[in-house]
Structure 1
Amino acid sequence: MADLLPQCLIHKILCLHSFKRAAQLSILSKTWLQAWLTIPNLSYSLGYLEHNMKKVMDNIMERYRDGKIPIEKLDLSYSVYSNEVFPLFNKWLDIALQNGVKDLVFRVPSHLTSYPLPMLTILATKSLRELVLTGCDLYCVSLSSGVVNCYSLRKLSLTQVGLGDNTLQILLNSCPFIDSLILDYCSWLKKIELLNNLPKIKSVFIRKSGTQLVKIQAPSLEHLSYFTGGEEFAMFDIDAPNLVSLEYKGFKFPATFMDANLQWSCYPTRFVLDSTSETIASFMDVLMHMMSSSHSTSHGSNKPLHRQLKEVKADKYDWENQRWHCDPVELGSERMAIRDLKDKFCFLLYWSCN
């Protein structure tokens, strides 16, 4: 019965499993074996006790190279501090790029950052649509010496990646059609700036540490998640007039959203705030003041807001049951009822144009 399935469907089934599990399923029949031999998603993890897997993985990659078998996704991770594997990484990456890889995932523990990732070679490919890097060190990578444009890239995810401000800007400018950007604990950055250099950007996730300055000017941006640790004030400046949802997590809330007399430069309809009870209560006061005001001014001027906040609905998160409360919270009644040290609320904001 399993042989009746077309190979493209078997590929989809195998891609739902780990590479090891997919290999086990190949014993079902010759059809499934042939499908596994040409599976488009490859996932390898090289650990401390898996040195013998290097030859197996190398043989598989050579088979894909010699047979020119298309590769949709290559997921490569390692936890071995050894320069001996670096030539293999280069070889496997070259094969994947030559075979038209679309999604490339490379993970390494942040304390093992000596591998010189061939970024120029990666960016030069015309098929790449998603690049996910974890723990890599891009400080030793010179992008300015031979900048290439990767117009196909749509998603860029950097987690605990070592890179400087200039490298980040070169990287973003080289991939102008990114629509999803993740910067997760890239602590070496002093500032994160998106200044109209990503005209197609739709979603941005930033989790930062320290006192990084974040400045965003992105008319196309629709979803923003911004997490900050510690008790430092969030240095946060955003101009995104088409923003739909904003999620913020941190102890100190940006002053931009805490002063009802400042002109908001974005008008999200969904605002998730995960912070201290005191901060959330103060934010509720701001929202109530904005609703009761006929107009607001910006930085001491008499310039009215482009939009007026007309209505707010708030849902409180139930930490015990890991879900949102079904009944909306009234701002005025909840203001004095907050008792927990930490809370999470989802505010639905209804705006009208002035």
Structure 2
Amino acid sequence: MDIAEDRISELPTEIILMILSLLTIRETARTSVLARRWRSAWASTPVLNFCQDTLYSFSGNWANIVNSVLSLHRGPILGFRLGRIVLCSSEDLDRWLSIVSSRGIEDLVIDFYDQYVPYTVHPSFFSCSSLVSIDLTSCKLEIPKDFEGFRLLKLLSLRNVALTDTILQTIVSKSEKLEDLTLIDCEGLRNIKIVASNLHNFHLFGAFSEVDLSGSLNIQDLFINWDGDGNGVWPPRRIIMSLTKLESLSVTGLLLFVSAVFAL
């Protein structure tokens, strides 16, 4: 037993933090019993995963748990992931985003628990220039006037997010490295225009009037699921034919136009 504990204690700090980054916050706390060096290591883990990991995860005050972890945490927070389990208020999320936005955040996941009352994302979110991956569910986006873009962003996933065509176009066009974009049942999108020269994967689910991909000609994987009433009118044939890098195409809910495309 002593030998095993010594070996665990001798692991390089980088390895310990890498292991902790793969665990949920509950599992991370439990590692404190492994060895002396692990007792406070959780407070430096660069990734915080607040998500369901046991049948009892809904017990306890999760807002207090997140507050406690953030107050004790030292060093950068590269990943901050809130699953639907975290029952919290908009004020709680505002406070947490304000904290992580100044700690080098790269990977942000927020799944707000109430899809009928979306969380209006705090303005500090738009100042996170270090973000590489964004995954939001049941949120609302309102861009501040001084938004300069996400210069490092590569992945953007929005599910049940309320925003406008203009807001989406602004975020995408100001994220020059964006490679992967997913939009699922987002409220407020009608005439979607995607200008992203480095975009490789685009998945779109929901009801809309038009999609303009003329500014994203390097798309390789395209999935469109039109979920409106009647027959969809997207897209013009010239746009689909201009996607010369396309390797995978799946379109549903647009039967009349799809038939015309494949009849060429």
TM-score where L is the length of structure 2: 0.82
Contact 1:144–1:170 (CA<8 Å) still a contact in 2?
no
Query: Which of 115, 120, 124 is 1:116 aligned to?
Result: 120
CA distance in 1, matches of 2:210, 2:184: 14
Query: Which of 12, 35, 42 is 2:41 aligned to?
Result: 35
Q: Which residue of 1 aligns with 2:4?
A: none
Q: Which residue of 1 aligns with 2:245?
A: 242
Shift in Å, 1:62: 1.5
Deviates more, 1:164-173 or 1:229-238: 229-238
- Say if 1:213 and 1:13 are closer, same or farther in 2 by CA, change over 3 A: same
Shift in Å, 1:42: 0.7
The reply on whether 1:226 has 2:232 as its aligned counterpart is no
Shift in Å, 1:185: 0.9
Query: Which of 8, 17, 22 is 2:28 aligned to?
Result: 22
Shift in Å, 1:54: 2.5
Q: Which residue of 2 aligns with 1:104?
A: 108
CA distance in 1, matches of 2:152, 2:35: 37
Contact 1:236–1:254 (CA<8 Å) still a contact in 2?
no
Q: Which residue of 1 aligns with 2:155?
A: 155
Q: Which residue of 1 aligns with 2:171?
A: 171
Q: Which residue of 1 aligns with 2:189?
A: 189
Deviation per residue, 1:211-270 (Å, 9 max, x gap) = 43222122221111222336732332233121122233x254352x4236xxxxxxxxxx
Query: Which of 53, 68, 71 is 1:62 aligned to?
Result: 71
TM-score where L is the length of structure 1: 0.63
Query: Which of 197, 200, 208 is 1:199 aligned to?
Result: 197
User: For 1:168, what is the secondary structure of its paired residue?
Assistant: helix
Structure 2 unpaired stretches of 5+: 1-6
Shift in Å, 1:129: 0.9
Q: Which residue of 2 aligns with 1:93?
A: 97
- Say if 1:169 and 1:27 are closer, same or farther in 2 by CA, change over 3 A: same
CA distance in 2, matches of 1:37, 1:147: 32
Tell me how large the CA RMSD over aligned residues is: 2.7
Of structures 1 and 2, the one scoring higher in RCO (CA 8 A, sep 6+) is 2
- Say if 1:96 and 1:146 are closer, same or farther in 2 by CA, change over 3 A: same
Contact 1:43–1:74 (CA<8 Å) still a contact in 2?
yes
Structure 1 unpaired stretches of 5+: 261-282, 291-354
User: For 1:13, what is the secondary structure of its paired residue?
Assistant: helix
- Say if 1:81 and 1:4 are closer, same or farther in 2 by CA, change over 3 A: closer
Identical-pair percentage = 22
Bigger fraction of residues in strand: 1
Deviation per residue, 1:155-199 (Å, 9 max, x gap) = 1111010112222222222323211111011143112221xx212
CA distance in 2, matches of 1:254, 1:216: 20
* Count of aligned pairs between the two proteins: 248
